[in-house]
Structure 1
């Protein structure tokens, strides 16, 4: 019974998108509200299927895991960001110097540039 539920949800969603563009002469606000209502109905139908219930359980479990995370303090975040910025600048300068060196060697070998 899961496959027909998912098929109905997809058909409903496709019909909503088609209707959104077919009725382009009507108010955009009205079309968006109707499209959101149809999308909510399609999601509700999809969530009643087996895969939908598994997806909902996964989302709930993920939310619990996010609550368990120990987030860094503002100071730790700022320090880490500063270290990343400094390292990117240093690496950028080193790559620029390496590129300049290789370009000079290439010009010397080919005799261009003068």
Structure 2
């Protein structure tokens, strides 16, 4: 399984595990649900991520950030508070979202939303 397939599997649209949660969601034991969903061992997941140079935690964090960014820019989501968008993207702590979002994108979620609202 390629890192690209892993990205699709861990994305918010990924197949759910038997408990109805996405692989890697809070309360799940790391790569185990993801590996079960794709019928490979957790070690295989770990090796694939190692080859890509990332940890499972980093991988999940990046997928959540990549989910939050378009939600913040989406005009349909303008009425939603950032904490709601954080939860939709898989973050349970909005201040953590702000910190890692700024580190990753160089802007805060508020900045991204403000720029998306600015027509010109």
Larger Rg computed on CA atoms = 1
Higher RCO structure, 1 or 2 (CA under 8 Å, sep 6+): 1
Q: Which has the higher helix share?
A: 1
Q: TM-score, normalised by structure 1?
A: 0.27
Q: TM-score, normalised by structure 2?
A: 0.26
